[in-house]
Amino acid sequence: MPRPMRPVRLGEPGAVIEKRPDGTIHARSPVPLGPYPRRLTDRLAHWAKLAPERLFLAQRGAEGEWRRLSFGEAMACVRRIGAALLARGLSAERPIVILSDNSIEHALLGLAAMHVGIPYAPISVAYSLMSSDFGKLRHIMELVTPGLVFAAQGEMFSRAIAASVPPEAEIVLGEPARLFPKATAFADLAAAEPTSEVDAANARSTPDTIAKFLFTSGSTGMPKGVINTQRMLCSNQAMIAAHLPFLTDEPPVLVDWLPWNHTFGGNHNTGIAIHNGGSLYIDDGKPMPGAIERTVRNLREIAPTIYFNVPRGFEALVPFWRKDLALRENFFSRVKVMFYAGASLSQTIWDEVAELGYETCGESIAMLTGLGSTETAPSAIFTTPQTSRAGAVGVPLRGVELKLAPVGDKLEGRVRGPNITPGYWRDDAVTRQAFDEEGYYCFGDALRFLDEKDESKGFRFDGRIAENFKLATGTWVTVGTLRQAFLAAFAPYAKDVVITGHDRDEVCALVFPDVEACRSLCVGLAAASSVAEILRHEPMRMELSRRLARFAREAKGSSTRVARLILLEEPPSIDANEITDKGSINQRAVLTRRASEVEALYEMPLPLFVIVAKTDDDDEKALIHQERSAARKKKDASPGRAR
């Protein structure tokens, strides 16, 4: 029997499809987009007037208590801070840079800036706290030329500020720092008296006024500053509300950790709270050991009505949901939709989350996703409950024109609409490259129909155009699809994988292991063993070898068969652009930086540290013996970082 779905009001699904003689496919929603505000803070002002006492933001205090800010209080603070910003003569040429993580102060400063027409740029915390050379941070400062730089924790960000902030920029701190005794206190901004100029400045801003700069790293080079206008933010919230109209039926409740320097957390999720008069609880956790426990604590207390996360966030929560009934009962008590983005969610995790939800509340909870980017504000394409599954991206939202353009043997997704960026800040060349001759923004993602028999169901992901490559045989390898399949087959031992094989005879893999999961296979190994010892442990390597053999048996050809793999001891480097601060891997940067490991995968005889598929026992023993003998004779058996 089909399981009952939790009732939720959703917009009209479907897509109008038009096919052109040149092979181009156009798609759009059958329903036009309705009106939307001129400025995002128009909605903040609306709720401050209509429901001034309603909770807008909440954040844990030093003692663990919730600090709460209502819509009325937030609007009053925004006007005061806006007056202070106007007095400093800030502008698009001298905007605001925010270095620190999500907080009430961060939100108020950003909203105040937007309210009076001053752009701001929230910057990845990793560029300040995880980087060793501050190269990306210095690049951003030089590009943006800020007039004011804010950090909530002065001491924590002192090194980054000293290394990157230009001397003419005012430094504003939430907490004092010894290096900057003359820095302005955030409390001083919030104590300013609002004047009529605040209202005048707000009235002067238009839908084309720059609201913020969001920085995104491409496959090479330094971060690019994506211009986000008021039109982008406001139209996108109208699109989301039209696809998820239940958000307008009652104020949504969000518990969210996603960083505001990214479009998912900073535009999509905070925008939902502002646009629909909802409450946003700032989650101080993250999907990583030692931090996910804080997320669990928050979800035990606060039951969201809609829940957003990246795939690793859902993966990290599953073990806690399995063993903690009270946590499950609270979380699933009123959540109407779960949504993931940022990467592909494995069907295994998807199914387990669905099963846990059904066991807990007796209803199936919709799990949705979509396709978007920093350049699209971010939502462009959304799934529906009927078509949502691993790999699906959905149908165009109202107001979005989707074009699938032939590129080689693939169809590249391209979009046009009011939610699309006008370009990259102070970089005309990159802006020109991002759009086609008809003004469509090019995702770089290949798409195809989810159901060839019913094209109105929308589309599914078909790999990254730029990541795909040909083997020496001329066979194309679709990297995105292969990565998803590989990670599913090697869960939980592979945290991420980079596919190799360009102009080679075979596909191989560089694997970033989940060290703790691998440790669980190392029976008899000392608890204090190093990463290198874990990755050299023979029983663990044999398990991966067996999985590699099974993966090869299930392959449908050379483009989906992974012949060998190397476990990488050194994690991906943010300074080397191998990983973004939200955890996604930059395939091209890894292949370039770890060229010696790539070569090792194709050396003959194979080095000892390369894992091959386990075949029949006798053949396997002979092969291992042969590889070890050859490896011992090599003067340099290891290319350094690989194990």
Q: What is the mean pLDDT of residues 351-363?
A: 96
Residues in the chain: 643
In tens, the pLDDT along 619-634 reads: 444 444 444 444 444 4
**pLDDT at residue 480 in the model:** 82
Distances (CA, A) of 431 to 74, 121, 216, 426, 466: 36, 19, 13, 9, 17
Would you say residue 239 has pLDDT above 60? Answer: yes
13 vs 164, which has greater pLDDT?
164
At residue 469 the predicted structure's pLDDT band, cuts being 50, 70 and 90, is: confident
Q: Are 207 and 231 in contact (CB under 8 A)?
A: yes
Minimum mean pLDDT range among 278-287, 341-350, 443-452: 341-350
DSSP tag of 5: B
pLDDT of residue 308: 98
Which residue in 353, 621, 360, 359 sits closest to 369, CA to CA?
353
pLDDT for position 619: 45
Average per-residue pLDDT for the chain: 92
How far apart (Å, rounded) are the C-alpha atoms in residues 403 and 381? 12
* Residues 362-373, mean pLDDT to the nearest whole number: 95
Predicted confidence band of residue 638 (pLDDT cuts 50, 70, 90): very low
Structure tokens that stand for 466 in this block: 């730029």
Express each pLDDT in 397-449 by its tens digit.
Answer: 999 999 999 998 889 999 999 999 999 999 999 999 999 999 999 998 999 99
- 481 exposure class (CB count in 10 Å sphere: 0-12, 13-18, 19+): buried
Contact 513, 493 (CB under 8 A): yes
Tell me: cis bond preceding 311? Omega within 30 of 0 counts: no
Lowest mean pLDDT among 11-20, 307-316, 584-593: 584-593
Q: What is the pLDDT of residue 173?
A: 98
pLDDT value, residue 196: 96
User: SS3 of 55, please?
Assistant: strand
Mean pLDDT of 299-308: 98
What is the reported pLDDT for 573?
86
Q: Is pLDDT above 80 for 221?
A: no
Average pLDDT in the 457-463 region?
Answer: 90
| CATH architecture of residue range(s) 71-205 | 3-Layer(aba) Sandwich (3.40)
Cα–Cα dist 349/354, whole Å = 9
| pLDDT higher than threshold 90 for residue 4 | yes
Rounded Cα–Cα distance for residues 349 and 4 (Å): 20
576-619 per-position pLDDT tens digit:
878 865 567 888 889 989 999 999 999 989 998 999 987 544 34
Query: What pLDDT sits at residue 587?
Result: 84
Q: How far is Cα 216 from Cα 432, in angstroms, rounded to an integer?
A: 17
- Taking the C-alpha atoms of residue 384 and residue 561, their distance in angstroms, rounded to an integer, is 32
From residue 583, alpha-carbon distances to 199, 439, 627 in Å are 41, 31, 34
Question: What are the pLDDT digits (tens) for 74-120?
Answer: 999 999 999 999 999 999 999 999 999 999 999 999 999 999 999 99
Q: Is 466 a residue whose pLDDT tops 80?
A: no
* C-alpha torsion angle, residues 79, 83, 88, 89 (rounded to 10): 90
The predicted model gives 461-489 an average pLDDT of: 85
Tokens 């290198």 locate to 532
Cα 192 to chain centroid distance, Å, stands at: 36
Rg (CA), the chain: 25
- In this predicted structure, what is the pLDDT of residue 460? 94
Q: Where are the domains of the chain?
A: 71-205, 469-633
Q: How far is CA 293 from CA 289, 290, 321, 544, in A?
A: 8, 6, 12, 29
